[in-house]
Amino acid sequence: MKHINYDKVIVEWLDISSDGCDEAWNTEEQLKDLVPALCTTIGYLYEDNKDWIKTFATYSFNSDQTLDFGDCVCIPKGVVRSIRKLEN
């Protein structure tokens, strides 16, 4: 396997959720219980700046040795709970 120069990471982040409030009208109890979904992304860290991080999980080398990326995600920094580097 060819080596790529990107760190493998696991990112925990919060996502918008309406789980439990799926009806047109919901009870106050359903609204009180509503919390964001805790998501986990495992992939390669493409970019990390003050506003967001970008990851990808799949890659392919082209015949000219450039890379194509798949399973790409851009996560706003405000919802990121943790970023941990994994062993490559």
Q: What pLDDT was estimated at residue 20? A: 79
Mean pLDDT by 10 residues, the chain (88 residues): 90 91 86 93 98 97 95 98 93
Show the 3-state SS of 51-67. Answer: CEEEEECEEEECCCCCE
Per domain, the residue ranges of the chain are: 8-86
Q: How far apart are CA 12 and CA 39, in angstroms?
A: 6
Q: What is the pTM of this model?
A: 0.86
Task: Give whole-number Cα distances, 83 to 7, 22, 50, 63, 69, in Å.
Answer: 11, 31, 14, 33, 20
